[in-house]
A and B are shown apart, each in its own frame.
Chain A
């Protein structure tokens, strides 16, 4: 986000002490999107990382001010596109909380199952992309094979593969597909078989371990101070799983563990996400057979109007705590809306985590932060 002259100055000149300044991104194979990092290097060692954002900023917050409460939900799919279902869920939960809409049990169960499937899909993609950042191309294809099963389930039930747009305030847009349960079970079976592959290929691999262990350390205090949430904070030993702390939908009815590691390094973040996938499978297994019969959408008014006041909900996306803050004036549109995106806070810790390490470590650290750029820029 420099003007032209400054870009030229940046790439040809050196830093104040003769450091190398490289512009990593906005087009760079490891940034997975249009993230622009200005990295100050001393040889191979990183001195400072300065993120420059905004390449995919669409001002969703401003956009939502002119949309009705029914409409704005689907814009949030475009923020963290890998957990779009959970984003939608967060917005719907806020409206339901604000207007006291009763959600049928069936809808709650399905929402949670789909959230967990989304989480697995997101983590699978992350796993592949992370391995690719470290130079191992092959796991990417293996993870995508399982992810494809999830996207097919989504396609069949929700009608879309990535931005599902399946949630309406009060429930779901339509009922699940008759094959839904069968397919989910088939997926669980395949996933359990294939998850060992990643242990052989990635987790236990000596190169991978030496690339991630002790790299990008984030202490628990720093994690809290930087506002990190999700797997990033949990790998540092901070308990911050919204599903446990402030359960929504039917998360209070299922048993699962909040995965907490204490090392705070890249490997711990990796392990947290891998174990989280298994916990998600556990949640789905508990719910898939006992989806109650009944309505899939509750009774709502045609035109939704949030009462005057301020509302905040949070949900646990694949990347951490996603918060929706709405200031309502009582009309059909939100007066002011703020999305607290997990990636934005997690990114702010990047400089702290990666400064002093090598360029190769930056890839490991950035990879385990699991950055989704539209989520950061909004």
Chain B
């Protein structure tokens, strides 16, 4: 059976046999960085195209279909265009922060890749506080956005950044609580253990209704956290033209754009890991034959399939719903999502203590 695990172990063994352990580790780091950046670029291209195609299908039109077969290279052409464009910096902008902001946003997105298990035993860093790490790092992205909005010295940008700040800070809470429900059920913060706990069934099935509620809350909260419609207030196109990245152009804009899609990928990957079992194939109780067939599908395919399904759901939201207003957005969080997720956490704790879950 095809597995990425084999490749990684062979490489590691070879490296450690050939080189001094420190140098081997350094070489491994370089390989990982290289792979991460490649993944970034690849994901950016795929997700942007996917978004455009999904939007087109929903909006009864064809979408990009000129560059390459079925418009496959449209995003490549777009990227080329963005690279060629002049990266303008406004005269009255705070130049240091202005140029730094896209990299902060990008770096946060990159850091989040570390604990994600892309396939069976294929993970950059299986840190034992994986979930905590994700929560901690993902809340950093607001700094980049605030920086961009403030440094642009543009009133639209400022408004967008402030909105974004309020939004991300509040939605961190319910996203955190939704993640906590799974932590309570698993009893571990480590990503690999959370996945292992879903060996005989995903949490969304095993965890009864509370897990489903937590899943829904998680999806809503991460949609808000990644500034996606219907919560795209930070860039609210019809209100603030482009929000915090109004003044950005060229490659700096592309970095924001890319970071948005990478963030979507990461939060969906986390959602898939926590609720849908990550790379774990679909196992149903004691149906051995079925389980075995499912095991034949490579774990990376399972992971990507689940992640892309969640990405599709988030895109589906975007092309269906109108945008909320800022006070309604905060109302939704503080009056609905937070109380519900608190209650839900209580319920899950009871279930976990009494062992009612499967």
Contacts of B163 in A (CB 8 A): 44
Contacts of B334 in A (CB 8 A): none
- Interface positions, chain B 295-351, Cβ under 8 Å from A, are 319-328
- Interface positions, chain A 120-155, Cβ under 8 Å from B, are 131-138, 140-142, 145
Nearest B residue to A362, CB-CB: B239
Contacts of B232 in A (CB 8 A): 135
Question: Within 8 Å of chain A (Cβ to Cβ): is B169?
Answer: no
Q: Do A136 and B320 touch across chains, with their CB atoms under 8 A apart?
A: yes
Question: Within 8 Å of chain A (Cβ to Cβ): is B10?
Answer: no
Residues 66-92 of chain B, each 1 if its beta carbon lies under 8 Å from chain A, else 0 = 000000000000000000000000001
Distance in angstroms from A264 CB to nearest chain B CB is 19
Contacts of A21 in B (CB 8 A): 155
Pick the residue among B59, B155, B320, B328 that contacts A20 (CB under 8 A). Answer: B155
Q: A138-B59, A363-B238 are in contact. Are A22 and B320 (CB under 8 A)?
A: no
Contacts of B238 in A (CB 8 A): 29-30, 132-135, 363
Among A21, A30, A360, max chain B CB count under 10 A is at A360
Q: A29-B241, A44-B159, A360-B239 are in contact. Are A137 and B59 (CB under 8 A)?
A: yes
- Report the Cα distance A30→B236, complex, angstroms: 10
Interface size class of B (residues with CB under 8 A): 20 to 34
Q: A22-B155, A363-B239 are in contact. Are A44 and B326 (CB under 8 A)?
A: yes
Q: Do A207 and B321 touch across chains, with their CB atoms under 8 A apart?
A: yes
Nearest A residue to B61, CB-CB: A141
Q: Do A11 and B155 touch across chains, with their CB atoms under 8 A apart?
A: yes
- The SS class assigned to the B binding surface is loop
Question: Within 8 Å of chain A (Cβ to Cβ): is B156?
Answer: yes
Contacts of A207 in B (CB 8 A): 230, 321-324, 328
Q: Do A135 and B61 touch across chains, with their CB atoms under 8 A apart?
A: no
- Interface positions, chain A 9-43, Cβ under 8 Å from B, are 11-12, 20-22, 28-30, 41
Question: Within 8 Å of chain B (Cβ to Cβ): is A5?
Answer: no
Contacts of B240 in A (CB 8 A): 359
Question: Within 8 Å of chain A (Cβ to Cβ): is B58?
Answer: yes
Q: Do A142 and B320 touch across chains, with their CB atoms under 8 A apart?
A: no
- Report the Cα distance A207→B321, complex, angstroms: 7
Q: Do A211 and B328 touch across chains, with their CB atoms under 8 A apart?
A: yes
- The SS class assigned to the A binding surface is helix
Contacts of B289 in A (CB 8 A): none
Residues 133-167 of chain B, each 1 if its beta carbon lies under 8 Å from chain A, else 0 = 00000000000000000000001101100010000
Q: Do B155 and A359 touch across chains, with their CB atoms under 8 A apart?
A: no
- Report the Cα distance A208→B328, complex, angstroms: 11
Distance in angstroms from A185 CB to nearest chain B CB is 23
Question: Within 8 Å of chain A (Cβ to Cβ): is B229?
Answer: yes
Question: Within 8 Å of chain A (Cβ to Cβ): is B60?
Answer: yes
- Report the Cα distance A6→B223, complex, angstroms: 41
Contacts of A359 in B (CB 8 A): 159, 239-240
Q: Do B325 and A205 touch across chains, with their CB atoms under 8 A apart?
A: no
Question: Within 8 Å of chain A (Cβ to Cβ): is B237?
Answer: yes
Nearest B residue to A207, CB-CB: B322
Interface set of A (CB-CB < 8 Å, partner B):
11-12, 20-22, 28-30, 41, 44, 131-138, 140-142, 145, 201-202, 205, 207-208, 210-211, 358-363
11 A-B pairs with C-beta separation under 8 A: A22-B156, A44-B163, A131-B322, A135-B322, A137-B55, A137-B319, A201-B320, A207-B323, A208-B322, A211-B324, A360-B323
